Structure 1
Amino acid sequence: MRRSLVITALVAVAVGGVPTAGAATPARMPDLTWRLSDTGTTAQLRGLAAVSSRVAWASGSRGTVLRTVDSGRTWQRSTPPGSEGLELRDIEAFDATTAVALSIGPGDQSRIYRTTDGGASWTETFRSGEPTAFYDCMAFFDRRHGLAMSDPVDGKFRVLSTDDGGASWRIVPDDGMPPALEGEFGFAASGQCLTVADGRYAWIATGGGATARVLRSADRGLTWAAVDTVLAGGPTAGVYATAFRDKSRGIAVGGDYTVPTGAVDALGVTRDGGRTWSRPKTAPQGYRSGVAWHSILPTVAIAVGPTGSDVTLDGGVRWRQFDSGTFDSVDCTRDGACWASGAAGRVGVLKLTWS
């Protein structure tokens, strides 16, 4: 409890807020910064799975998978067999030994690999047999149950389901999936275009169409409802990522990646599970591809993108940029650590520093 109060006070000061009652007040003004880690690779790391303050996985271009078990001081690299030329845009990890990685691309370039020995060996557990499929993201409700999503096939988003931790996958019937808009698809930018919460709720972020939408499910992906958001739509715009603290409170980020500094309608907030979305009072100044809630501080969230990182202290209503470096994805762990990953092998761990 004492740790949470101290962190709350420091974050509040860093973003211009007021420490909560009873929280310790720092003697000097702290800043939020990313402590960068030498990963030993130049791969673009769009996939990120933070397990704890010590354990994290990242994945990306050229079949790259990285794992650290010592808070980023050293990294072990592995490549699933046959993925050397593929983009591993998403990775989900349960601990230091078990992880599931997704490669993107049309047809059989979309594959899923699984390891249970820390990346020493990998098993291919899914390869798309549909030429028009293009898988973008995965998410797990728990160690056994998860979903993966593809861009529309025959006019509807395609969803896979697993109940054995990613060891096998099956296509979910699309009877409960609404039709896709013309040009609509998912952005494989951060592994966060499919997110889940509270054991059975799931959300798919979409773009490419005239309207930026979020599809929501309350039955582990069997049926979905489409909702228009307040984010801008268009061929290169839309919702790139969502994060839900629970079944009700969520944040959607995006924009237009071709206009990375454009901040018009690039973030939305929901308090009813994605049924309705509202604009924040202040928003990040640019396109953002990743977002995550802090696990200990209930109203704190971090958003990242190619032009910087932002923090909110009030559940997404007001945002303040604290870093100008480039990241693609962000993930926070149960023990309060936040990790980010991105271009040129860039990985950072969120730290508080004093100037």
Structure 2
Amino acid sequence: MTILTGRIWLVILLINITIAKAQKNYKLDTLSSGTSALIIGLDALDENNLWASGTNATILFSSNAGNTWETFHFEQADSLQFRAIKAISSNEALVMSAGEGPASQIFKFSKISGWKSLYIMPHSEGFLDAIEILPNGLGIAYGDAIDEQPFILMSDENLENWGRVETSVTASKGEGGFASSGSNITINKKGDIWIGTGAGGSANVLYSKNKGKDWQKFISPMIKGEAAGITSIRQGDDLLFITGGDLAKSDVYTDNLFISSDNGKSWLPLNQPITKGAFYGSAISNIDNTNIYLVCGPNGADFLASEKGKWIQFSQLNLWTAEFINKSTAILAGREGKMIKIEFLD
């Protein structure tokens, strides 16, 4: 074998390794959620204990990685749409309903003691979009702007008392978010916070490096419009990932997949996905130093293994929300209680 031939074979081998890495093998399972509600919120306490939430004031809990689910309803107001949920423990969860004015509420739900109301939107034009819990136990919620500032709420360490945060950051008229997956907010282990906004011609990232005390605003390249912007923002080991689109355009490709390595100041686009239309939910993990991106929406779900790879469509179900329960396994859920599990294999 000549040196030239040897080099050619080395290049071919490296290409094949890269392709194999980008075409990550996976296994799909269909799960039974036990509900026909639209599932919008999803959060994992750990790989076994999972919470989910949705329409008709529905909450779900699984203690076996999503294989079976308990169902709970808020009977006093069964029309509420629980569009975000965050695990407190295997017995308690923080729950957010979305809607205009008092339809936007925050509850603490306990399997032992039931429901506790923590916040009711006092503004008729207000609309909550997402909630999160910081590592120090503080809660944060984000909603549509009612004035010239972003509508950000924060709680005490018991998640009991909620109040609005005053910021020097401005909000555009109509700027808010999309309560479509409960993932408009992402937080890292240090307590840095990122919020993805949309609607009203805006698609910004709000960033706080001191647990919500001060905020910066960065303009993203996400498609913008009256019903467009960022629907989901996720924080990986060393980057931010945003997705979204124009909710009024269900059958076209738009610029709706970007990553940032500088907290949202600048962005790079990812390759075009397979599924058309807007994505509502996303999730990110890192397996063997390869970032795995998941996106899902009304037209289906895709994944990408490595930033330079090609997207693979793995479902055509109407799926709104996604969550990794461990590094290699994620659950996705959506319309009519549909729920699937994807496991990435070695």
TM-score, length-scaled by structure 2: 0.86
Q: Could you tell me which residue of structure 1 aligns to residue 127 of structure 2? A: 134
Q: Could you tell me which residue of structure 1 aligns to residue 161 of structure 2? A: 168
1:193 Cα deviation (Å)? 1.1
Alpha-carbon contact 1:267-1:279 (below 8 Å) kept: yes
Q: Could you tell me which residue of structure 1 aligns to residue 47 of structure 2? A: 53
1:284 Cα deviation (Å)? 4.7
Alpha-carbon contact 1:48-1:91 (below 8 Å) kept: yes
Q: Could you tell me which residue of structure 2 aligns to residue 39 of structure 1? A: 33
Change (3 A) 1:133 1:280: same
Q: Cα RMSD between the aligned structures?
A: 2.5
Q: Which has the larger radius of gyration?
A: 2
Percent identity over paired residues: 24
Alpha-carbon contact 2:149-2:167 (below 8 Å) kept: no
1:13-92 to 2 correspondence within 5 Å? 17-19=19-21, 31-80=25-74, 82-92=76-86
1:329 Cα deviation (Å)? 0.7
Q: Could you tell me which residue of structure 1 aligns to residue 208 of structure 2? A: 217
CA distance in 1, matches of 2:308, 2:85: 26
Q: Could you tell me which residue of structure 2 aligns to residue 290 of structure 1? A: 281
1:198 Cα deviation (Å)? 2.8
Q: Could you tell me which residue of structure 1 aligns to residue 241 of structure 2? A: 251
TM-score, length-scaled by structure 1: 0.84
Change (3 A) 1:137 1:167: same
SS at match of 1:268: strand
Q: How many residues align?
A: 328
1:255 Cα deviation (Å)? 0.7
Q: Could you tell me which residue of structure 1 aligns to residue 142 of structure 2? A: 149
Q: Could you tell me which residue of structure 2 aligns to residue 99 of structure 1? A: 93
CA distance in 2, matches of 1:285, 1:31: 19
CA distance in 1, matches of 2:225, 2:209: 27
Q: Which moved more, 1:91-100 or 1:282-291?
A: 282-291
1:233-262 CA-to-partner distances (Å, cap 9, x unmatched) read: 00111111110114x501110111222232
1:260 aligned onto 2:262: no
Change (3 A) 1:238 1:284: farther
Q: Could you tell me which residue of structure 1 aligns to residue 297 of structure 2? A: 305
Change (3 A) 1:297 1:48: farther
1:326 aligned onto 2:318: yes
Report the AA paired with residue 259 of structure 1: K
CA distance in 2, matches of 1:63, 1:316: 41
Alpha-carbon contact 1:269-1:317 (below 8 Å) kept: no
Q: Could you tell me which residue of structure 2 aligns to residue 338 of structure 1? A: 330
Alpha-carbon contact 2:144-2:151 (below 8 Å) kept: yes
Report the AA paired with residue 164 of structure 1: E
SS at match of 2:341: strand
Unaligned runs of 5+ in 1: 1-14, 21-28
SS at match of 1:153: coil
CA distance in 2, matches of 1:330, 1:98: 21
Unaligned runs of 5+ in 2: 1-16
Alpha-carbon contact 1:296-1:334 (below 8 Å) kept: no
Q: Which moved more, 1:221-230 or 1:43-52?
A: 221-230
Report the AA paired with residue 135 of structure 1: L
